[in-house]
Copies of this chain bind each other. A is one copy, B any other.
Amino acid sequence: MFESAELGHREDKETFVAEVPKLRESLLDAQFDLAQVKRFPLIVLIGGVDGGGKSEIVNLLNAWMDPRHIQTHGLEEPNDEDRQRPHMWRWWRQLPPKGTTGLFNGSWYTFPILQRAHRKTKEVHLEQSLSRIQRFERMLLDEGALLIKFWMHLSKDAQKKRLKKLEADPLTRWRVTDQDWEHFEMYDRFRKISERSLQVTSTADAPWTIVEATDFRYQALTVGRHLLEAMRKRLDGLPEQLTILVPPLPPRLDSVNVFQTLDLTQHTAKPDYEVELERLQGRLNLLTRHKTFKKRSMVIAFEGSDAAGKGGAIRRVTGALDARIYRIIPIAAPTDEEKAQPYLWRFWRHMPGAGRMAIFDRSWYGRVLVERVEGYCAEADWIRAYSEINDFEEQMNRNGTLVCKFWLSISPEEQLKRFEARKETAYKRFKITEDDWRNREKWDAYEQAVCDMVDRTSTASAPWTLVESEDKNFGRIKVLKTLVDRLEREL
């Protein structure tokens, strides 16, 4: 696939000088429009061989465009916050908000390719990385990002010449490192691995553009023109709302569902409850002080109908823990910084470090529950959420982050009773809102959504636990027991 980029493409100075002012003007205009509509981010990846002028192109784009709306990211070794979290965390942190541009000199491709080239990883790891990258980019595209990927290419001869030339000039000598020559020795290997990587990640909406890097004018104009064209096409053609048609979920032909496996009459008598609670809390406390847990982490998601007892269950969990190791994240309306990012961004940002626990009071499952039922997002958005969520949890799992998910289940009758009881109590913090009453009317729709959610997102590494919570004591014990069992199995 590199053939066309080894033909000695050149651009003469005259054309270049004539075209650049117009090109810059148009790029600035496009960037201005992007900042005005703020409907999507522009993400530009600059990859390629050493000596292929990646930094020069990145610097040039900053000079041509308005650098105030560009965030440029170089490639650094992951720092200690990165290392404790899933691989993609550092990239989630760097995603540009809608309306702005993220320019990546080296990207999520770099380490997988380098590590494979240096034989630090096996072929299967490269393939796993590429597969993860594909899903990540799919998510970005579905979220509306304009993703443009450039690969700067030099033939083996051309690379050698380039490195020698840089070395010969005292002003540029510092830029050629031993590592560059070391990489050059591996040229063929690099090429093969890069080719494979580019091939499987070139999709219709985010193809790689391979740019021959022997002539800087040619390279610069190719990048500039393509960028402009892609931005213009998206800006001019963008409808208010992207309409994506997806196949619907399969219909359910009978009313047999996971809820029927639940026996809501189960209960735990108070004396038993108190003994069990203390035993399990003690056990949980010890487990979180286990030396293996100091290298792992845990993410717990609580979902359930209103008044199902999420808050009470969470307090029984945190009651067992040292307050320094956990963080509770109550999920409310997203902030404007969160709205300017892909849906899962506001959960990624709370990813716990080593030895820590993040407890979500409501979670990313809002997408396939309330947002689905209330129509807050398009059908295509919540349908794709199932796979995005599985991917999210799988990445945590690979990182050694244990994922536990609870659905607290009560009957509509019990919910009504709890609502009425809340109305009675003086504590204003238990005020029942209009929403709560309205949600009750959609009980069946919610039940359906919960069944679909469990069917599609209960995985071996991140299983759902349905908790019979009609009796609060029974529910709380089940939650604690599930956490303790999980930790005992994994540590």
Chain B residue nearest in CB terms to A72:
B323
Nearest Cβ in chain B — how far from A6, in angstroms?
28
A61 to B323, CA, bound (A): 9
Protomer copies: 2
**Bound CA span A429–B24, Å:** 13
Question: Is A461 an interface residue when CB atoms closer than 8 A count as contact?
Answer: no
Of A120-128, A202-210, A330-338, A369-377, the one touching chain B: A330-338
A356 to chain B minimum Cβ distance, whole angstroms, is 10
Tell me if A103 is interfacial: C-beta within 8 Å of chain B: yes
Partner of A62 from the list B80, B289, B323 (CB cut-off 8 Å) is B323
Report the separation of the CA atoms of residues A74 and B335 in the bound assembly, to the nearest whole angstrom. 26
A15-23, A313-321, A402-410: which lies at the B interface? A313-321
Contact between chains at A427 and B66 (CB < 8 Å):
no
Q: Could you tell me how many residues of chain A have their Cβ less than 8 Å away from some Cβ of chain B?
A: 47
Chain B proximity of A243: nearest CB distance (Å) = 29
Judge if A388 is at the interface, Cβ distance under 8 Å: no
How far, in whole Å, are A323 and B105 apart by their CA atoms in the complex? 9
Cβ contact of A322, chosen from B28, B59, B66, B429, cutoff 8 A: B59
Provided the pairs A58-B324, A324-B72 are in contact, do residues A315 and B63 lie with their beta carbons within 8 angstroms? yes
Nearest Cβ on chain B to A424's Cβ, whole angstroms: 15
- Is there contact, CB below 8 Å, between B68 and A311? yes
Beta-carbon contacts of A86-114 to B below 8 Å, as 1s and 0s? 00000000000000000101000000000
Q: Is the CB of B29 within 8 A of A324?
A: no
Determine how close the nearest CB of chain B comes to the CB of A397; give it in whole angstroms.
24
- Across the interface, A323 reaches (CB within 8 A) one of B25, B55, B69, B323, namely B55
Inter-chain contact A323/B58, CB cutoff 8 Å: yes
Assess the A318–B62 pair: CB atoms within 8 A.
yes
A25's partner among B25, B67, B289, B427 (CB-CB below 8 A) is B427
User: With contacts A63-B319, A74-B324 known, is A330 near B68, CB below 8 A?
Assistant: yes
A80 to B77, CA, bound (A): 12
- Contacts of A382-428 to chain B: CB distance below 8 A: 427-428
